[in-house]
């Protein structure tokens, strides 16, 4: 079935089932001029949006519509996680080429509904338009955070520890394998390709780190180098990272050898890992071991007074400037 067979409103009717996962917070969902929501008293409201554009953020020959729907929501939940918040509601806007099959759209929504169910998020509205070019999906997510647990990019203090969750670089190494069309040939591909196609936003981890005194936090969407600079700049501090402490998976080391690249380059400049980068006072950081943060936490460096920007310390004890290189929509790196 094609879009012209169901029309814009027929499509919305097909989409709107199973969109509410926390009914107590939604007065009116899909079907009116605006959604009507019930915020939790005394919580700060968060709102964020990230858009995915065909052939910029995804390639329809290497992703399924379900994976794409999942990721379109995941990247937004990751921004809420990086503030220490809980995601509550999403609105989804899609621009669809006219020839798109109805089943494609339903599967896109199946992916979105799956992750929304997993994280207790309601899809409360959106917009559906035709596109003369490629597919565009824009998601906006509203979330909430207790005022005392809000974590911004600007709170890092000299003396804080710099740490990250899990491993970095897997997503962009996965993208490299997908775009070379050779991922199925290697048994190291699975974790790399999975982290690229269906990243898991670290919402619970973000909330736990916030509750344990993270002083600044950012999600790694543009690459570690870029996010370190964002924190350093917003907090008016310098950051020194120890190169060999940056956590890499065994699979990325194997993949990088096959791809003829340095594994660390994927971690520093690749992006889309959606891991959390945060700073924390050392005493608080020591306590993290006694909780289950839902992710492996690795100390990678420390916060210093402003002046030196972001530096990388190598194995030989040499320190050099880490350029703010990473994914930038208008600059080729």
Ligand X SMILES: Nc1ncnc2c1ncn2[C@@H]1O[C@H](COP(=O)(O)OP(=O)(O)O)[C@@H](O)[C@H]1O
Instruction: Name the binding residues for ATP.
Output: 109, 126-127, 153, 221
CB 305 within 8 A of CB 244: no
Judged by CB under 6 A, which of 30, 50, 175, 203 binds ligand X?
50
Contact string (CB under 6 A) for ligand TPP, positions 75-104, x = contact: x-----------------------------
Partner from Mg ion, ligand TPP, ligand X, none binding residue 182, C-beta < 5-8 Å depending on class: none
- The rounded distance, in Å, linking the Cα atoms of 148 and 43 is 10
CB 62 within 8 A of CB 95: no
Q: CA dist 90 to 20, 135, 147, Å?
A: 10, 19, 21
CB 304 within 8 A of CB 239: yes
Residue 155 CB neighbour total at 10 angstroms? 20
Give burial (CB, 10 Å; 0-12/13-18/19+) of 53. middle
Partner from Mg ion, ligand TPP, ligand X, none binding residue 188, C-beta < 5-8 Å depending on class: none
Subset of residues 162 to 191 that bind ligand TPP, contact rule: CB under 6 A? 175
CB of 11 to Mg ion, least distance (A): 27
Which DSSP letter does residue 289 get? G
> What is the C-alpha radius of gyration for the chain, rounded to an integer number of angstroms?
20
Judged by CB under 5 A, which of 160, 222, 251, 272 binds Mg ion?
222
Largest CA distance in the chain: 66
- Please tell me whether residue 273 binds ligand TPP under the rule CB under 6 A: no
- Please tell me whether residue 221 binds Mg ion under the rule CB under 5 A: yes
**Considering Cα of 292, then 295, then 299, then 302, what sign does the dihedral take?**
negative
Judged by CB under 6 A, which of 20, 35, 72, 79 binds ligand X?
79
Binding-site residues, in ranges, read: 33, 48-50, 57, 79, 109, 126-127, 153, 219, 221-222, 272, 327
Judged by CB under 6 A, which of 55, 130, 306, 333 binds ligand TPP?
55
Subset of residues 165 to 224 that bind ligand X, contact rule: CB under 6 A? 221
Secondary element (H or E) of residue 102: helix 102-119
CB of 103 to ligand TPP, least distance (A): 22
Which DSSP letter does residue 25 get? G
- Please tell me whether residue 221 binds ligand TPP under the rule CB under 6 A: yes
- Please tell me whether residue 272 binds ligand TPP under the rule CB under 6 A: yes
Judged by CB under 6 A, which of 50, 144, 230, 302 binds ligand TPP?
50
- The rounded distance, in Å, linking the Cα atoms of 147 and 82 is 14
CB of 153 to ligand TPP, least distance (A): 13
Binding footprint of Mg ion on the chain (CB under 5 A): 50, 79, 221-222
């Amino acid at each position: 079935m094609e879009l012209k067979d169901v029309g814009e409103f027929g499509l919305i009717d097909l989409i709107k089932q199973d969109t509410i996962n926390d009914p107590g917070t939604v007065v009116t969902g899909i079907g009116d001029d605006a959604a009507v929501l019930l915020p939790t008293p005394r919580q700060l409201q968060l709102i964020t949006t990230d858009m995915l554009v065909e052939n910029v953020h995804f390639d329809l020959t290497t992703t399924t519509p379900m994976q794409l729907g999942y990721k379109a929501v995941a990247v937004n939940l990751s921004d809420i996680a990086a503030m220490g918040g809980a995601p509550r509601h999403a609105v989804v806007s899609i621009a669809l080429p006219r020839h798109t099959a109805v089943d494609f759209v339903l599967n896109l929504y199946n992916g979105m509904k799956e992750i929304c169910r997993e994280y207790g998020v309601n899809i409360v509205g959106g917009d559906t338009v035709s596109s003369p070019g490629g597919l565009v999906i824009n998601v906006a997510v509203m979330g909430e955070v207790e005022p005392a647990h809000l974590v911004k990019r600007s709170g890092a203090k000299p003396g804080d520890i710099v740490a990250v969750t899990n491993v970095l670089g897997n997503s962009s190494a996965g993208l490299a394998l997908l775009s070379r069309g050779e991922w199925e040939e290697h048994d190291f591909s699975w974790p790399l390709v999975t982290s690229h196609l269906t990243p898991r936003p670290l919402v619970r981890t973000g909330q736990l780190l916030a509750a344990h005194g993270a002083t600044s936090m950012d999600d790694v969407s543009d690459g570690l180098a870029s996010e370190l600079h964002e924190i350093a700049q917003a907090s008016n501090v310098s950051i020194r990272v120890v190169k060999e402490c940056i956590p890499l998976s065994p699979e990325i080391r194997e993949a990088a050898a096959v791809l003829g690249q340095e594994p660390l380059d994927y971690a520093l400049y690749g992006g889309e890992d959606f891991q959390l980068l945060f700073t924390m006072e050392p005493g608080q950081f020591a306590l993290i071991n006694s909780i289950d943060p839902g992710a492996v936490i690795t100390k990678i460096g420390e916060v210093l007074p402003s002046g030196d920007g972001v530096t990388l310390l190598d194995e030989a004890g040499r320190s050099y400037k880490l350029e703010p290189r990473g994914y930038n929509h208008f600059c080729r790196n």
